């Protein structure tokens, strides 16, 4: 087994093994469901050490544990070490050994061959001056995409939507490094002419990928809206709600205040859940877990909905095309157990409702 990438991270791996502080364990959203330490960052650091020292060999059991990681970054927020880099390196090593799930293989192959992750019902294009990268999920949801574009127009923005290819985050996250490089080449070829412009983005995952893996100047569109709220005259919504911070948007990009500022500007009474802002709990949709273990993803989502019920609210707002449907599934299933349905809504939909329509 080629352990070179892990050897470069050996200091972090052994530091975790020596300290065993456990800050990453208790509130790990997967640990809350599974109850086994192997699924936590500390557990995977022990696996990494065992692989480095030849105490264990790559196996389907190890692969299953790694596939159960949401890559949500909660552990890294609690730690000074490069947890996520170790975990993705472990996934890559498994892939090199031929140990990767058929579900992940299929998705990555589609991105490489077709440049898309999901079906795109209709081509989404718009003439404009400010590049707007929709991303695969919003490309697959034209109604939602058009709503967002309408909101941006009413905020004084002029989005330019061109033919897109997938940013490739999923391939890198699943450990397919060589495929990710090929995807990057295709993306740069398709979107390269906008590389010197500021690009508005909608998907938090695409945003961080374009910034950190492509070096592009990106701004999540919700930040652009927040910058313009004082100039707008939104209607006031009679709504009591909590806000769910998407992992990539909040914890990793630091976009924490802007969604909350918008909600307050819309007259929303905001109630915070226990796990919020940097230490928000994942929706269950990250890391490809929904493909390999949909039951785990569902239970994580249900736990997040329980967090909302715990502070007495029945409306949850978020701003991520992965979080929204994942949490809605969790809310629907949990309602069968609690007889209480927590409505999951997009912040874009609230903006669409509150902002004056163009005459």
Six-digit token pair at 298?
A: 């569902």
Q: What is the CATH number of the domain that holds 327?
A: 3.40.50.1860
41 lies in the same domain as 70: yes
241 lies in the same domain as 331: yes
243 lies in the same domain as 329: yes
Q: Which among 162, 170, 70, 163 has a CA at the least distance from the CA of 112?
A: 170
- Tell me 239's DSSP state: E
Where in the sequence is the domain holding 308, given as residue range(s)? 233-354
Name the CA radius of gyration of the chain, rounded: 21
71 lies in the same domain as 178: no
Q: Which among 320, 312, 290, 307 has a CA at the least distance from the CA of 103?
A: 290
Say if pTM beats, i.e. exceeds, 0.85. yes
338 lies in the same domain as 256: yes
Distance CA(18)–CA(332), nearest Å, equals 43
pLDDT in tens, 213-251: 999 999 999 999 999 999 999 999 989 999 999 999 999
Show the 3-state SS of 192-231: HHHCCCCEEECCHHHHHHHHHCCCCCEEEHHHHHHCCHHH
**Contact 309/303 with Cβ under 8 angstroms?**
no
340 lies in the same domain as 287: yes
pLDDT in tens, 286-331: 999 999 999 999 999 999 999 999 999 999 999 999 999 999 999 9
Could you tell me if residue 170 is inside a domain? yes
Could you tell me if residue 108 is inside a domain? no
């Amino acid at each position: 087994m080629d352990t070179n990438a892990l050897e470069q991270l050996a200091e972090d791996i052994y530091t975790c093994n020596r300290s065993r502080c456990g800050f990453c364990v208790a509130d790990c959203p997967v640990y809350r469901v599974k109850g086994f330490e192997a699924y936590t960052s500390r557990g995977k650091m022990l696996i990494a050490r065992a692989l480095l020292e030849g105490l264990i060999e790559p196996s389907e059991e190890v692969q299953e544990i790694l596939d159960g990681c949401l890559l949500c970054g909660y552990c890294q927020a609690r730690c000074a070490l490069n947890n996520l880099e170790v975990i993705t390196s472990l996934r890559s090593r498994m892939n090199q050994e031929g140990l990767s799930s058929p579900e992940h293989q299929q998705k990555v192959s589609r991105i490489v061959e077709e440049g898309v992750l999901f079906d795109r019902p209709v081509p989404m294009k718009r003439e404009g001056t400010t590049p707007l990268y929709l991303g695969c999920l919003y490309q697959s949801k034209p109604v939602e995409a058009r709503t967002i574009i309408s909101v941006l127009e009413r905020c004084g923005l002029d989005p330019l939507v061109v033919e897109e290819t997938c940013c490739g985050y999923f391939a890198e996250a699943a450990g397919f490094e060589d495929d990710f490089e090929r995807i990057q080449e295709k993306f740069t070829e398709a979107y390269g002419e906008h590389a010197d412009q500021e690009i508005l983005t909608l998907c938090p995952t695409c945003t961080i990928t374009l910034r950190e893996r492509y070096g592009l100047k990106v701004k999540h569109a919700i930040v652009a809206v927040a910058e313009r709220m004082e100039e707008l005259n939104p209607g006031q919504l009679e709504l009591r709600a909590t806000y769910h911070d998407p992992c990539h948007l909040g914890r990793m990009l630091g976009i924490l205040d802007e969604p909350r500022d918008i909600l307050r500007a819309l007259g929303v009474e905001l109630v915070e859940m226990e796990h919020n802002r940097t230490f928000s709990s994942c929706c269950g949709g990250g890391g490809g877990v929904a493909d390999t273990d949909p039951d785990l993803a569902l239970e994580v989502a249900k736990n997040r909905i329980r967090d909302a019920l715990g502070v007495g609210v029945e409306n949850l707002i978020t701003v991520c095309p992965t979080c929204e449907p994942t949490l809605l599934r969790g809310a629907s299933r949990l309602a069968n157990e609690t007889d209480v349905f927590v409505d999951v809504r997009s912040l874009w939909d609230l903006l669409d409702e509150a902002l004056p329509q163009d005459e």
